[in-house]
A and B are shown apart, each in its own frame.
Chain A
């Protein structure tokens, strides 16, 4: 029988199926971080349980860490306590921790792939919804809640019902100035912030095949922003070349065996999906969001929808959202004033993203009244950026290169956007208050964000390249 990529990996990981209920689903790798794990460890302690497979768990501190002076003790007490609690839990339960000061520290979804921990055919979970990122390797990766973190720590399994399957085909070549972030923002604007709820999404087509691993990760990362359980892309030579030689990648004859196995991971030609969407790459412009969910996006030359374009029942939410953003229905996005630019988050903080921004801004200067933060996704990315001299390019442009962490993506540490200010952000969520109470977020690609940093307004990057 023909199978989809998802089916192949799913079937390998079902320990048992309960009649009329979910399956007991085996998890290969479990990432944990300081925010969603403490209550899970507490649960284990209350039940007197050890961690079942500590070697399959990897921990890092990312959500709550400062992005300057990481060598000093964390100033904010609650944040410090949370990070210390993680350290203690990892020590008590025998889990490897890449905490602050460790060369492997970084945003959980950046370090997994970077270290070669994320490999095709695996099942990966983390108490963080952007675990879908790992799907770029042909992996089933999804976010879970803290009770589920406890389940996986205790048994390496979860109770899961099989989702429906959707395939999104992107065909053709991308326009100038359009990058993978624009592809995914375009897709979400087409199908809405809930359009893929209940589905596992496979991205396919020539456009996707031609993307680098970093670019593929950006796409899979945002699958959750249309409600999908996970997003995935079949592994190919690009995938194998990326993994080869990384710290935890298989070596020698193991490598050959691995690749042989990974080559079987694709959707069979006649495999059937519950839903399919075709997207033409030529239709995609650089994207920007105007509202308070990632589905509220338009091409950079587009306008915010007029009230008449919105279904009547959706109008109150639409108006509430624009009111929060201080924007008016029907108006153009281009030319809007920008106060902050945030280049970072697990969506766009890999070395490729930083290189893209640096090569664009080289020799340019930021607008006078704008603040620009570049936050690398991991300590390794930071080190590499410095090695390549990108830090100097940023410095000359007036951008601030900080240290690695989630930072202004969720404003849990001190990196917050002040109330009422506009921020173009390469992160994944423009929810009310996401970057700080009252902050107004516009999501865009690293290129579009960099263009705004130079001009101080929402800009069509194509006019500058």
Chain B
């Protein structure tokens, strides 16, 4: 069971880079853990630190910039491409984000995010630019995201856009259900399917 999400009102961290792949979000050498916890400290590891040295944060990177904080990550187009590692979603969530906003998400990342109660909010290019501008000009800008009503809003200006989410997934997120709960309830139907679809040549 995950934690349900509904309305999130928070400041945001902007990373205005396109094609951010999951190797950047969490480099492979940090995938050696056998639990789901603790990946947040290595989120964007190589963009955050010089020479992999935690004593030397790179000052220009938004996560190191004290003026930015919040539960919402705003990123450029094609976010989460590349490797299927769910560790990327775990790292973002573990770091403290509940929402990722982009104008385009890679497929597998989107599923992984949803399975971890991290809400991917897909916005238009134009609205994404508005968000970047608002947050970069005033890092204290509040952004409001409502899952129930499917909108994202810049609180100060009222500028808003609605976003899509599949009805089934929305119900899961609002109630804290996951797919396994659903599938486990289908055992009999799955077994019936197996009987009807057995191929003689396949053992």
With A36-B86, A194-B78, A293-B81: A148-B115 Cβ-Cβ less than 8 Å = yes
Between-chain CB contacts (< 8 Å), 24 pairs: A13-B197, A15-B189, A15-B193, A21-B168, A24-B189, A35-B31, A39-B34, A63-B28, A128-B83, A143-B84, A147-B86, A147-B115, A147-B179, A150-B180, A151-B183, A154-B183, A161-B166, A194-B19, A314-B18, A320-B17, A412-B28, A432-B23, A433-B24, A434-B28
Complex-state Cα separation, A144 to B178, whole angstroms = 16
Chain B 182-193 per-residue mask, 1 if CB under 8 angstroms from chain A, else 0: 111011011001
Complex-state Cα separation, A127 to B182, whole angstroms = 21
Q: A227 interface residue, CB < 8 Å from B?
A: yes
Q: Is the CB of B199 within 8 A of A261?
A: yes
Chain A 6-47 per-residue mask, 1 if CB under 8 angstroms from chain B, else 0: 000000110110101110101010000001101100110001
Tell me the nearest residue of chain B to A81, going by C-beta: B34
Q: Is the CB of B115 within 8 A of A316?
A: no
Tell me the nearest residue of chain B to A318, going by C-beta: B18
With A85-B34, A155-B187, A433-B24: A18-B86 Cβ-Cβ less than 8 Å = no
Say how far A33's CB is from chain B's closest CB, in angstroms. 11
Q: Is the CB of A22 within 8 A of B193?
A: no
Complex-state Cα separation, A324 to B180, whole angstroms = 42
With A197-B78, A250-B202, A316-B16: A412-B31 Cβ-Cβ less than 8 Å = yes
Say how far A240's CB is from chain B's closest CB, in angstroms. 13
Given contacts A254-B201, A320-B17, A411-B29, 18 further A-B contacts (CB under 8 A): A15-B186, A22-B166, A39-B34, A42-B35, A64-B32, A81-B32, A81-B34, A128-B83, A147-B178, A148-B111, A156-B190, A257-B201, A261-B201, A317-B19, A410-B23, A429-B21, A431-B23, A434-B28
Q: Which 9 A-B pairs have the closest CB atoms?
A: A21-B168, A145-B86, A38-B34, A78-B32, A145-B112, A147-B115, A143-B84, A254-B201, A129-B84
Which residues between 72 and 118 of chain B lie within 8 Å of chain A, taking CB atoms?
76-78, 81-87, 89, 104, 106-108, 111-112, 115-116
Complex-state Cα separation, A85 to B169, whole angstroms = 32
Q: A229 interface residue, CB < 8 Å from B?
A: yes
Partner pick for A79 among B32, B46, B107, B189, CB 8 A cutoff: B32
Find chain B residues with CB under 8 A from A198 CB: 107
Which residues between 407 and 463 of chain A lie within 8 Å of chain B, taking CB atoms?
410-412, 429, 431-434, 437
Q: A174 interface residue, CB < 8 Å from B?
A: no
Q: B167 interface residue, CB < 8 Å from A?
A: yes
Q: B200 interface residue, CB < 8 Å from A?
A: yes
With A39-B36, A42-B35, A151-B183: A26-B201 Cβ-Cβ less than 8 Å = no
Q: A374 interface residue, CB < 8 Å from B?
A: no
Complex-state Cα separation, A144 to B28, whole angstroms = 17
Q: Is the CB of A429 within 8 A of B29?
A: no
Find chain B residues with CB under 8 A from A38 CB: 34-35
Q: B54 interface residue, CB < 8 Å from A?
A: no
Q: Is the CB of B167 within 8 A of A20?
A: yes
Say how far B111's CB is from chain A's closest CB, in angstroms. 6
Say how far B179's CB is from chain A's closest CB, in angstroms. 5
Chain A 133-163 per-residue mask, 1 if CB under 8 angstroms from chain B, else 0: 0000000000111111011001111110101
Find chain A residues with CB under 8 A from B52 CB: 437
Partner pick for B84 among A39, A144, A412, A437, CB 8 A cutoff: A144
Q: Is the CB of A146 within 8 A of B86?
A: yes
Chain A 189-213 per-residue mask, 1 if CB under 8 angstroms from chain B, else 0: 0000110011000000000000000
Find chain A residues with CB under 8 A from B31 CB: 35, 63, 412
Find chain B residues with CB under 8 A from A197 CB: 78, 81, 104, 106-107
Chain A 329-366 per-residue mask, 1 if CB under 8 angstroms from chain B, else 0: 00000000000000000000000000000000000000
Q: B156 interface residue, CB < 8 Å from A?
A: no
Complex-state Cα separation, A54 to B76, whole angstroms = 41
Q: A258 interface residue, CB < 8 Å from B?
A: yes
Partner pick for A433 among B17, B23, B51, B178, CB 8 A cutoff: B23
Find chain A residues with CB under 8 A from B78 CB: 193-194, 197, 227
Say how far A32's CB is from chain B's closest CB, in angstroms. 13
Q: Is the CB of A154 within 8 A of B84?
A: no
Q: A118 interface residue, CB < 8 Å from B?
A: no
Which residues between 1 and 50 of chain B lie within 8 Å of chain A, taking CB atoms?
16-19, 21, 23-24, 27-29, 31-36, 46
Q: Is the CB of B35 within 8 A of A145?
A: no
Find chain B residues with CB under 8 A from A412 CB: 28-29, 31-32
Chain A 77-88 per-residue mask, 1 if CB under 8 angstroms from chain B, else 0: 011011001000
Q: Is the CB of A12 within 8 A of B81?
A: no
Say how far A97's CB is from chain B's closest CB, in angstroms. 16
Partner pick for A147 among B116, B168, B201, CB 8 A cutoff: B116
Complex-state Cα separation, A119 to B77, whole angstroms = 36
Complex-state Cα separation, A259 to B87, whole angstroms = 40
Find chain A residues with CB under 8 A from B190 CB: 15, 24, 26, 155-157
Q: Is the CB of B46 within 8 A of A433?
A: yes
Q: Is the CB of B86 within 8 A of A21?
A: no
With A26-B190, A257-B200: A145-B180 Cβ-Cβ less than 8 Å = no
Partner pick for B27 among A18, A63, A437, CB 8 A cutoff: A437
Complex-state Cα separation, A12 to B202, whole angstroms = 15
Find chain A residues with CB under 8 A from B16 CB: 316
Find chain B residues with CB under 8 A from A79 CB: 32
Which residues between 77 and 122 of chain A lie within 8 Å of chain B, taking CB atoms?
78-79, 81-82, 85, 119
Find chain B residues with CB under 8 A from A410 CB: 23, 28, 83
Find chain A residues with CB under 8 A from B51 CB: 437
Complex-state Cα separation, A158 to B200, whole angstroms = 24
Say how far B74's CB is from chain A's closest CB, in angstroms. 15
Complex-state Cα separation, A163 to B111, whole angstroms = 13
Say how far A263's CB is from chain B's closest CB, in angstroms. 13
Tell me the nearest residue of chain B to A21, going by C-beta: B168
Q: Is the CB of B107 within 8 A of A229?
A: yes
Q: Which of B21, B32, B52, B108 counts the most chain A CB atoms within 10 A?
A: B32
